[in-house]
């Protein structure tokens, strides 16, 4: 089952819309807010309350220690298995958040990087630091 993405700016009603849709369509909510992933920031990030989370299953809220660094690639690694598990249960995965890079990585993966040019690398490695700085 393809996920439904609900995205937008802070305090735009994403979480309440997701709850309504999840209830009506037998869905489960998957967090895509960069800060709501961290434990201990629930109040600061306006994460769904325990009462709201009890209404329908919620995933990836308060799962990362605040001392850990999380990037979009790591988020994708966390979220893809959750999406698959929710869909395998016949439920609608509802991805909710405002972190555009996380949403992009989840839906499209990382952008391909151009291949390195070995000749250019060799040329630049032969230059002094002063010459490299001058060229910048």
pLDDT in tens, 21-79: 999 999 999 999 988 999 988 776 788 888 999 999 999 999 999 999 999 999 999 99
Per-residue model confidence as pLDDT tens digits over 100-124? 899 999 999 988 888 888 999 999 9
Sign of CA dihedral 38, 43, 6, 62: positive
Question: In terms of residue numbers, what domain contains 53?
Answer: 4-135
What's 27's domain CATH number? 3.40.50.300
Give the count of domains, the chain: 1
Q: Does the pTM exceed 0.85?
A: no
């Amino acid at each position: 089952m393809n996920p439904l993405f609900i995205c937008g700016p802070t305090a735009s009603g994403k979480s309440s819309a997701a709850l309504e849709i999840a209830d009506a369509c037998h869905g489960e909510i998957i967090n895509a807010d960069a800060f709501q992933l961290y434990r201990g920031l629930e109040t600061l990030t306006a994460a769904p309350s325990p009462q709201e989370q009890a209404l329908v299953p919620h995933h990836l809220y308060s799962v990362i220690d605040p001392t850990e660094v999380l990037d979009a690639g790591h988020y994708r690694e966390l979220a893809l298995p959750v999406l698959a598990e929710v869909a395998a249960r016949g439920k609608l995965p509802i991805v909710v958040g405002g972190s555009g890079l996380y949403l992009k990585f989840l839906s499209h993966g990382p952008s391909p990087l151009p291949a390195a040019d070995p000749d250019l690398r060799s040329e630049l490695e032969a230059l002094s630091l002063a010459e490299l700085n001058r060229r910048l």
